Structure 1
Amino acid sequence: MKPAHLLCCLAICVSIGLSGCEIFPTSGPANLEIRGGQRDPGSLPYGLVKVTPGVIEILAKETVKLSATFGDERPPKEIRFGIGDVVGVTLFEAGSGGLFIPSEAGVRPGNFVTFPNQSVDANGYITIPYAPPIQTKGRTPPEVQRSIVEALKNRAIEPQVIVTLVEQRTSMISVLGDVNSPARFPANAAGEHLLDAITRAGGPKSQGFDEWVTLERAGRRATVPFGAVVYEPANNIYVHPNDTIYIYREPQTFLAFGALGFGGQDSGAQKPFDAWHITLAEAVAKSGGLKNDLADPGAVFLYRGETRRVAEMLGVDCAAFDGPIIPVVYLVNFRDPAGFFFAKEFAMRNKDVIYVSNSLSVETAKAMTYFRLVVGTVNDPIVAAQNALIIKNLLNTTTSTVAAVAGGASASP
């Protein structure tokens, strides 16, 4: 091979390895292209984060926990009356001959009278004879009892009152969606956990790892996998009156592209978790592992959107980003033996994207093959002119790529 041809070949190889030249087919960007950052000003910017124990620790703390959203570690203190609740009132007097108890002995056993059950009216009141309307809405039975005694103490003989909730119609819990028996039932004054309420509705219809639980309370809402409620006590919080629990089925999946096995496939694939929680190591294994003849083990990337607060905690400069969600590319080096431990602890999220770059040697082999084609057709003047233009462009690309990668090397992990 002539020295000029060799020089062109090396130029092509360097250009391919550094810039991921568009002349040759490939499944995505090259390793150094992702590490070096984006040179196209019209492209979407992203933050590059190398996975370390500190990164894993930060992400582990940022998983959604219902206790963090609602702050409920104790059951509701009491059940309060609401409009429509049916209330029972029994009044006792210290002796006969009072306001409600006849003076004739033996007419009735005991010195008490039970009033007919009544609903809390639209204005939030109940009615007691010889007393003004009693405010009941939003109050507990002892509070209503004291109001009745206060209203009758100057007319009845040392009155005492027992107020009971006969039929609960407002302090309800609703469980609906993908459960066996959707229901709306009264809240338990003794307190019950989220799983208790779901059990009262018959439990999920499926095995559970594809199920999600949404809890809505007082205008706040949070969603976690059903498995997170089962296995993490911080999510099995106490339910409160008027909570709405919605169970729905949505299989968790991730996308995998690049130099992965894919179970015999030659392109990307969408893979289900088939569990409520998997790690990056498990996701790579489910995708067939790294292809021994293509993959660069030092170029395993995971694409995900993180909140601005989390991105800043990870060390991403968010000044160039608009909006609350920051595109982040995580890098795991499987050439490093510790990289497998990192991948084993790195939790996947629904709709994550995994990409594995081709090895530089694979791209170089493509370049060599192409160069042999260039040399073989050099006698054709038209093809030779086209090849000369291609090589010129490759040389120009090499220069710009080397400068860009060198400039971005200090920012890459």
Structure 2
Amino acid sequence: MTGTLNRRAVLTGLSATLLTASCGLPRSGPNKRQIYSGSVLRHGDAFVVKVNDFVTRETAVQPALGFTSQFINAGPIGSDTIRAGDTLSLTIWENVDDGLLANKGANATQLQQVQVDGSGYIFVPYAGRIKAAGNTPDGLRRIITAKLDTQTPDPQVLVTRTAGDGATVSVMGAINGQGVYPIERPTRTLSAMIARAGGVSIKPEVARITVKRGKMAESIWLKDLYDNPQMDIALRANDVILVEQDQRAFTALGATGSQARVPFETQTLSALDAIATVGGLQTNLADPTGVFVLRNEPAAIANKVLGRTDLVGDQRMIYVLDLTEPNGMFMARDFVIRDGDTVYVTEAPFVQWQKTLSAITSPLGTAATINNLAN
């Protein structure tokens, strides 16, 4: 009699444990029913929308990068224009044996390494302080000639620029050769300067180029720079060129190959690409009818998708993809993933059923063992 009571007590305890376990079986996240229960139609705070061609078109928004007219319309720096910081070489011929500048017995004087100061001026003996910046070498030659002409008969002047261009740009970030580079004839444009610095050190597909000019800063994708010659802007002195990797990312959760925050590997990313990036769906767990994309959608897009005009501010949107439909894979291929999106794949219903069966059979097996031991 005592043994029977003990067995009943054990079974009663196991039954209570089973009831508790069935209410809290482990899983990777909410199921489809629970997600739909959060819909606005069911007094939740999110709009649940099934993806179709219309939704795909209205949500296909990408970050707009590119240079404005202020950058595009700035023409290349003239290769002959003298600027502050340039180094000049002057040769002056005088039409007398004993000139102002030449040594005795010579009629030519060479002034090497004449530096254009920060204010754009140079000093020439007997000609004084002369504004060089903004002039071409030929223009500066005429100015110096006019200054000396009153002091020595028929002077002849030659002005040339030597190594040491004062117009430079700084190149930094994910570039193979960070540094300060002069703007020379072959490197007067953005793409040429990037090539001069050794090219980017990251995948071109995710390379973002930012040019800072004074108080302005504008960006472009490296791929767009090469695809659109109009965006290959002319550089200006003191420009800063920053090359950095795309910082956009999405989060993958649920029955996918991996659950992580995943950076974009291309300029555009579809839902199908995102799933493939994390290893696809887990064949033993995933429900292909329950692929969800969660995002905070701007009101302008949310109103279009929902056919409304009254929504204000970002809206919580849950986009539903069913990969088992005839065009489901095409929809997933065309639906664009954006920065900050969460891609969530629910578990198949039979997975929870298997877990329930396991929760039932395991305690029964334990009870049978205890029962045998009690006998």
Whether TM-score is above 0.5 comes out as: yes
Decide whether the 8 Å contact of 1:86 with 1:168 is kept in 2. yes
Task: Give how far 1:251 is off.
Answer: 7.1
Of 333, 337, 360, which aligns to 1:344? 333
Partner of 1:121: 117
Match of 1:87, SS state, is strand
> 1:244: Cα distance to partner?
1.9
Amino acid at match of 2:272: A
Distance in 1 separating the partners of 2:59 and 2:152: 66
- Percent identical residues: 22
Structure 2 Cα separation of the partners of residues 274 and 71 of structure 1: 28
Higher mean C-alpha deviation, range 310-319 or range 127-136: 310-319
Structure 2 residue 89 is the aligned partner of structure 1 residue 85: no
Partner of 2:190: 194
Q: Quick one: distance in 2 between partners of 1:100 and 1:312? A: 82
Query: Residue 172 of structure 1: CA displacement?
Result: 0.9
Deviation at 1:175, TM superposition (A): 1.9
Aligned length: 326
Three-state SS of the structure 2 residue aligned to 1:202 is coil
Which of 1 and 2 has greater Rg?
A: 2
Residue 213 to residue 283, structure 1, CA distance change in 2 (3 Å):
same
With 121-130 and 292-301 compared, the bigger mean Cα shift is at: 292-301
In the alignment, the residues of structure 2 paired with residue 316 and residue 235 of structure 1 have an alpha-carbon distance, to the nearest angstrom, of 38
State the AA in 2 paired with 1:285: A
CA drift at 1:278? 3.3
SS of 2:162's partner is: strand
Return closer, same or farther for 1:240/1:351 CA change in 2, 3 Å cut-off.
farther
SS in 2 for 1:185: strand
Q: Deviations over 1:256-305 (max 9, x none)?
A: 124x4x22x6xx43334445553322112334545677547476324266
The alpha-carbon deviation at position 138 of structure 1 amounts to 4.8
Q: Could you say which residue in structure 2 is the equivalent of 1:16?
A: none
Larger mean CA deviation between 207-216 and 175-184 belongs to 207-216
- C-alpha root-mean-square deviation of aligned residues, in Å? 5.0
CA separation of 1:319 and 1:164: change in aligned 2, threshold 3 A: farther
The residue matched to 1:320 in structure 2 has which SS? coil
The one-letter amino acid paired with 2:88 is V
SS of the aligned residue for 2:293 comes to strand
Return 338-347 or 125-134, whichever deviates more: 338-347
Q: Whose RCO is larger (CA < 8 A, sep 6+)?
A: 1
Q: 1:353 aligned to 342, 357, 362, which one?
A: 342
2:293 paired residue among 301, 312, 315: 301
**C-alpha separation in 2, matches of 1:312 and 1:154:** 79
**Amino acid paired to 1:281:** L
Contact 1:86–1:166 (8 Å) recurs in 2: yes
Shift in CA distance, 54/203, structure 1 to aligned 2, threshold 3 Å: same
The CA distance in 2 between the partners of 1:69 and 1:316, in whole Å, is 35
Contact 1:84 1:122 in 2 (8 A): yes
Following the alignment from structure 2 to structure 1, what is the Cα–Cα distance between the partners of residues 48 and 70? 31
Task: Mark the runs of 5 or more structure 1 residues left unpaired by the alignment.
Answer: 1-21, 374-413
Q: Deviations over 1:317-364 (max 9, x none)?
A: 68733xxxx4664736446655544543444445432234678x789x
Letter of the 1:172 counterpart: T
Matched letter for residue 123 of structure 2 = T
Shift of 1:143: 4.7
| Partners of 1:174 and 1:183 within 8 A in 2 | yes
Note if contact 1:280-1:348 (Cα within 8 Å) is conserved in structure 2.
Answer: yes
Cα distance in 2 between the residues matched to 1:142 and 1:327: 64
Structure 2: runs of 5+ lacking an equivalent: 1-22, 361-375
Q: Out of 169-178 and 140-149, give the one that drifted further.
A: 140-149
Corresponding position of 2:365? none
